[in-house]
Amino acid sequence: MVKTYSVAVLLGGPSSEREISLRSGRAIAGALAGAGHRVTEVDVRGEDGAELEGLEAEIVFVALHGRFGEDGQVQRLLEKRRLLYTGSSPVASRLAMDKLESKRQFLRSGLDTPAYQVLSRTDGPVDLDRCARSLGFPVVIKPRAEGSSVGVTVHRDRARLSEGLELATRNGRTALMEKFIEGREMTVGILDDRPLPVIELRNGRELFDYDAKYVDGATESIVDPALPKRDRVALQMTALRAHRALGCEGASRVDLFLTPLHEIQVLEVNTIPGMTERSLLPKAARAAGLAYTDLCDRMLRLAFRRERETGSWVAAALL
């Protein structure tokens, strides 16, 4: 008989991605309940961890997107309370959420990532113009630590650089300016240290931003797009290297660009990928033969296996 567990699903959260997290968390909770687990939904509203006080569960499924959920904060609180949780460690979560630190890790690991400049909230038009010219237009301005492409803008000239910086620094003092990469936008899910099928993202926008992900019904996500085998394998292996470079565990999703010259540029790693009905990780898992309920259950059990292999007190108590 397959063992089932009492599970607390953390959803909502205080970030700009709260509504998507609610959708992800509710879908996960439904799937886990359908698999026989005893599930409690925990709506997190602040960053003080108040909802974790007195929480009784054998495992916590973290479905919090963006700030507090993906940046290592909630993981540290869970560890302090000796609660087992899904996904990556506090350190890996922080590295993945911080786009500057991610880039540094990618480069140390020999991975290509778009050229960039670090911006400050106080930078003026002259500073921004200098950075853009050093990279070469077009450029992308993005927050240093936000998810779902929130606050990301593309600039083909200097006209609105200051507006882009203002948007990107609403929740932080620094931002990144990147060289815009012309090419095909790809994403590869990683599950249990193995790459899932490649998905290509196609939409009428310059970037696969928040609206393209969750609002625009015209956005296409093509599983196993037409690619030479060498490109498909290279994308999967590059994604796996990026996942490992940050020390990620369980499941993640890696966003990449494939250029017309068959070069691969790593954009970022998402340690808590979306799990809504339109989300990419579940779609890739289905293409690999794993139904949504089985995916959620697998993510849950990977956390127990990690604890067992590291010999922690949690595994000794529960397995």
Tokens of 220: 């296409």
Of 93, 56, 98, give the one whose Cα is nearest residue 74.
93
Q: Rounded mean pLDDT of the chain?
A: 92
Tell me, yes or no, if 148 is annotated catalytic: yes
270, 292, 306, 307: which one is catalytic?
270
Confidence grade of residue 147 (pLDDT, cut at 50, 70, 90):
low
Same domain membership, residue 149 and residue 15: no
Same domain membership, residue 105 and residue 236: yes
- 280 domain-assigned: no
Same domain membership, residue 233 and residue 103: yes
Q: Which residues contact 73 (CB under 8 A, 6 or more apart)?
A: 47, 67, 90
Report the pLDDT averaged over residues 211-225. Answer: 73
- 139 domain-assigned: yes
Rg from Cα positions in the chain: 19
Helix (H) or strand (E) holding 62: strand 59-62
41, 70, 209, 255: which one is catalytic?
255
The residue with greater pLDDT, 211 or 107, is 107
Same domain membership, residue 102 and residue 190: yes
Tell me, yes or no, if 214 is annotated catalytic: yes
Same domain membership, residue 200 and residue 102: yes
pLDDT of residue 213 exceeding 70: no
Total residues belonging to the chain: 319
- 80 domain-assigned: yes
pLDDT of residue 260 exceeding 80: yes
Same domain membership, residue 53 and residue 19: yes
Partnered with residue 194 across adjacent β-strands are: 191
Report the pLDDT averaged over residues 174-188. Answer: 97
Where would I find the H helices in the chain? 18-34, 73-80, 90-97, 99-108, 125-135, 161-168, 210-214, 229-245, 280-287, 292-310, 313-318
- 133 domain-assigned: yes
Partnered with residue 11 across adjacent β-strands are: 43
148, 149, 221, 252: which one is catalytic?
148
Picking from 129, 150, 179, the residue at the C-terminal end of a domain is 179
Tell me, yes or no, if 253 is annotated catalytic: yes
Contact 267, 255 (CB under 8 A): yes
Same domain membership, residue 186 and residue 167: no
The CB density around residue 170, as the number of other CB atoms within 10 Å, is 13
- 190 domain-assigned: yes
Same domain membership, residue 22 and residue 57: yes
Helix (H) or strand (E) holding 152: none
Return the minimum-mean-pLDDT range out of 77-81, 218-222, 300-304. Answer: 218-222
- 16 domain-assigned: yes
Residue 311, burial from CB neighbour count under 10 angstroms (0-12, 13-18, 19+): exposed
- 279 domain-assigned: no
User: Mind listing the pLDDT tens digit for each residue in 68-125?
Assistant: 999 999 999 999 999 999 999 999 999 999 999 999 999 999 999 999 999 999 999 9
pLDDT for res 215? 53
129, 202, 211, 214: which one is catalytic?
214
Tell me, yes or no, if 268 is annotated catalytic: yes
Tokens of 285: 């898992």
5, 15, 17, 69: which one is catalytic?
17
Same domain membership, residue 255 and residue 187: yes
* CATH code of residue 34: 3.40.50.20
Confidence grade of residue 188 (pLDDT, cut at 50, 70, 90):
very high
Strands 220-223 and 251-258, bridge-based pairing: unpaired
Tell me, yes or no, if 102 is annotated catalytic: no
23, 94, 144, 253: which one is catalytic?
253
CA 189 – CA 198 distance, rounded (Å): 8
Confidence grade of residue 217 (pLDDT, cut at 50, 70, 90):
low
Query: How many structural domains compose the chain?
Result: 3
Query: Which of 123-137, 143-157, 214-228 has maximum average pLDDT?
Result: 123-137
Same domain membership, residue 255 and residue 221: yes
User: Mind listing the pLDDT tens digit for each residue in 6-56?
Assistant: 999 999 999 989 999 999 999 999 999 999 999 999 999 999 999 999 999
pLDDT for res 319? 38
Q: pTM to 2 decimals?
A: 0.91
Rounded-to-5 percentages of helix, strand, coil across the chain: 40, 25, 40
pLDDT of residue 268 exceeding 60: yes
* CATH code of residue 144: 3.30.1490.20
Picking from 162, 179, 196, the residue at the C-terminal end of a domain is 179
Same domain membership, residue 70 and residue 164: no
Same domain membership, residue 247 and residue 107: yes
- Residue 95, Cα to own-chain centre: how many angstroms? 11
CA 278 – CA 167 distance, rounded (Å): 26
- 209 domain-assigned: yes
**Single-letter residue type at 280:** L
Residue 159, burial from CB neighbour count under 10 angstroms (0-12, 13-18, 19+): exposed
Structural domain of residue 307, as residue ranges?
A: 6-87+294-318
144, 274, 297, 307: which one is catalytic?
274
Picking from 133, 154, 179, the residue at the C-terminal end of a domain is 179
Tell me, yes or no, if 224 is annotated catalytic: no
* CATH code of residue 236: 3.30.470.20
Distances (CA, A) of 238 to 43, 140, 263, 285: 35, 22, 11, 18
268, 279, 292, 307: which one is catalytic?
268
**Single-letter residue type at 67:** R
